[in-house]
Amino acid sequence: MQEPIAITALSTLSPLGTNPEEIWQNYLRPDHFLELKLFGTELEFIAPLSLESKKLVSQIAKSDSKYKSLDPSVLMAIWTSRKAVEQANWNEKSDFGINIGSSRGATTLFEQHFEQFLQTGKAHTLASPSTTLGNISSWVAHDLQSDGPELSHSITCSTGLHAVLNGVAWLRAGMADAFLVGGSEAPLTPFTIAQMKAMKIYAANTELDFPCRSMDLAKTRNTMVLGEGAASICLELGERSNALAYITGIGYATEILKHSVSVSAEAECFKKSMKMALQNISLDEVDVIVMHAPGTIKGDSSEYKAIQHVFGESLPLLTTNKWKTGHTFATSGLLSMELAVLMLQHNYFIDVPFCTPQLQSKDIKKILINSVGFGGNAVSILLQL
């Protein structure tokens, strides 16, 4: 068995807050963090950062004159990366790698710059560098004064967990001894919301109880809700005294699709990624699966069918967090990792309140996290203490 990968720091910005204690308490609450906001003439559900979190992001923008022109997704990544590096005691290190991805990239700035172009026929001087995807990791590297490799990428909604895969690969190849991985997404913009509505996958603005019915296999309409958030995770090879948890299995797969935005009915990619991640353990050792479960009819049911195929009748406990946090695209898989780490640390299962209750009957020792995106690119990661 290969050496485990230690998670020595995990910092997030999400609708749930900014520190582990606050986030855990919000997971224990049975309510969601979705709210209605006017987009054009329509009220739509979204999951925004709290006002306190937005103030923290605003402070980053004010901390350096060069940061004033950066997109919120970049500023959020800078904030979580600062906190993660501090937590991991990397302040004296500079040779760590950085891989922070985003599905949408600089969404807010791109829409603003394009609107200006439509009105004037001219582009702003900084329109190009401030809206390139690569500027997320490059600005984080600048802020942290690191001199290791830095890259950004986009693999739709599984981008965050693909960043983890990449960090693991660099570490196990001996090309780095520490890697900062993450994802950042600020997609709560009119055009992005309109795109999700055009695909007919967005939640209705009339459902006030639980607008996003993630993991509810009996729902009759799609209920995806977008959220914003960022996450940064410090990875190191081997056992570490300050490890929050360990990555002991990774899996990935891409399937050939018949439609550009769908996953097959049986989620073949998930079958392969889960089997790869679990190839060194017995299936009954998996205590919990944190599902991707975007809140769409096909997305939720196909993943569930793939889990049934892999585990048979002996299913682990199943959960998800998108009903509470919204779908944060690239960041979503990393927020699922955070939920997994918290459940491992507290030895407590967080259920979905509107689904059939599941009872924890044993200690939680191993948790599998799933993520997939448009294009059928799945990732599964196994965590344990």
Give me the residue label for tokens 């009339």. 206
Instruction: Categorise residue 376: left if φ over 0, alpha if ψ from -120 to 50, beta otherwise.
Output: left
Task: Tell me the mean pLDDT in the region 77-86.
Answer: 98
Q: Encode pLDDT of 5-33 as tens digits.
A: 999 999 999 999 999 999 999 999 999 99
pLDDT of res. 133 = 85
Interval 317-326: pLDDT, tens: 999 999 999 9
Higher pLDDT, residue 59 or 128: 59
Average pLDDT on 80-100 reads 94
Whole-number pLDDT of residue 262 = 64
- Per-residue pLDDT tens for 182-198? 999 999 999 999 999 99
Q: Tens digits of per-residue pLDDT, 284-301?
A: 999 999 999 999 999 999
Confidence of residue 342 (pLDDT cuts 50, 70, 90): very high
Residue 150: strand pairing partners: 98
Give the C-alpha separation, 345 to 165, whole Å: 23
User: What is the pLDDT, as a whole number, of residue 260?
Assistant: 57
| pLDDT above 90 (res 337) | yes
Is the pLDDT at 146 greater than 70, yes or no?
yes
Q: Are strands 97-101 and 42-47 parallel, antiparallel or unpaired?
A: unpaired
Give per-residue burial for 153-163: e unless 16+ CB within 10 Å, then b: bbbbbbbbbbb
For residue 280, the model assigns a pLDDT of: 87
- pLDDT given at position 40: 85
356-381 pLDDT tens trace: 999 999 999 999 999 998 778 999 99
What is the pLDDT at residue 261?
A: 58
Top-confidence residue, 208 or 352: 352
CA atoms within 13 A on the CB side of 204: 10
What pLDDT is attached to residue 233? 98
Note the pLDDT of residue 244. Answer: 98
Report, at the CATH architecture level, how domain 5-237 is classified. 3-Layer(aba) Sandwich (3.40)
Per residue in 51-74, pLDDT (tens digit) is 999 999 999 999 999 999 999 999
CA 368 to chain centre: 14
**Percent of the chain surpassing pLDDT 70:** 98
How much is the pLDDT for 183?
98
Task: Compute the average pLDDT of residues 340-346.
Answer: 98
Q: Look up the CATH architecture of domain 249-384.
A: 3-Layer(aba) Sandwich (3.40)
Across the chain, what does the average pLDDT equal? 94
Q: In the chain, where are the structural domains located?
A: 5-237, 249-384
Note the pLDDT tens digit of each residue in 201-255: 999 998 889 999 999 999 999 999 999 999 999 999 999 999 999 999 999 999 8
**Identical topology for domains 5-237 and 249-384:** yes
Nearest to 304 by CA among 365, 381, 216: 216
